[in-house]
Amino acid sequence: MNFRCLIIDDEPNAVALLRSHLDHVDFLDHVMSCYDAFEAINYLRKETVDIIFLDIEMPEMNGMELAALIPKNVALIFTTAYSEYAVESYQKHATDYLLKPITFSRFMDAILKACDQLSPVLPIASPIVLPQASPQLFIKSGKEIIRMECADIIYLEGDKEYVNFHTRKGVILVNKRMKNLAEQMDRNFQRIHHSYIVNIDHVIKIEDNHVWIGNKKLPVSDTYRKAFMSFINKKLY
C-alpha cells in the first residue's frame, strides 16, 4: 500500500529536502508541493492525500491556521525551524513535529508514526529499506538549487564572497563565504587552507604540506595543518 504525500512549505530548500527523503521510500508517493496555504486548499478540494508535511511559518495563512481545515483522517506532520510550536501542534492532532533541517532518520520516525495511524493492522517494519546512497546537499547557484551527492564534490575553492564547488560534473559557483560553508559541511570535508576545503575521499596523497587530489596540488597552511593532520592520523594504519 502506497501513501500519497503532500508538502506545504514556502521555502524551496525545505521542499527539496523533503522530496529527496520521500524519493528514498518506495511506499511514499510525492503527489504535490504547495508553496502557500491557499494553493494547498485549492489542491485539497480536488484531491485526497494520506500524509501532509506542513510548515508553520508561512505568509498570509500560517500552518496552524491551515491545520484546522485538514481532515482528522490525514496524518499531519508539522515541519518548522521553531520549537515553540510543539505543544500547540499536538493540540491540532499532529502525528509528529519535525525541526528543520530534517534528517532522514528523524523523517523516518515520523513516517512510522503516520503508518501506524493510517494502517495500524499492517506490519510496517519489513518493507522499509534505509537508503544506501551517498549523503546529499543542496547548492544554491544563482537562481538554481542543485541537488548534489557529497561524493561527487572534490574540493571547494574560496574566492572572496564566492566559493567554487569543484565536482565530478564541473564547477558550480556559490555566493557564500568559505567560513560559513566550512561550518555546514560534513566532517569528511576538511579545511586545509584559507581558500580550500577538500573531500577526504578524493585525496590521493599528502606530502610536503600539500594535498594531491587527482592531478591538482593544494597547499596545507599553518593555520589548518594541526587540525587537518589530527583528523588524518585517526585514519592511519
For cell 495500524, name the residue. Answer: 120
Together in a domain, 105 and 142: no
Same domain, yes or no, for 166 and 87?
no
51: CATH:
3.40.50.2300
Position 107, amino acid: F
User: Mean pLDDT, 10 residues at a time, over the chain (237 residues)?
Assistant: 92 92 92 94 93 91 88 90 63 81 89 84 40 65 82 90 90 87 81 93 90 90 92 81
Q: Is the peptide bond before 127 cis (omega within 30 degrees of 0)?
A: no
If one counts the domains in the chain, the total is: 2
pLDDT at residue number 87? 54
> Following CA atoms 121, 126, 128, 132 in sequence, which dihedral angle do they give, to the nearest 10 degrees?
170
Same-domain status, 93 and 9 = yes
Q: Which domain holds residue 179?
A: 136-233
Whole-prediction pTM = 0.52
Q: Are 223 and 216 in contact (CB under 8 A)?
A: no
Predicted pLDDT of residue 169: 83
Q: What is the pLDDT, as a whole number, of residue 123?
A: 40
According to the model, what pLDDT value does residue 85 have?
A: 58
pLDDT at 180: 79
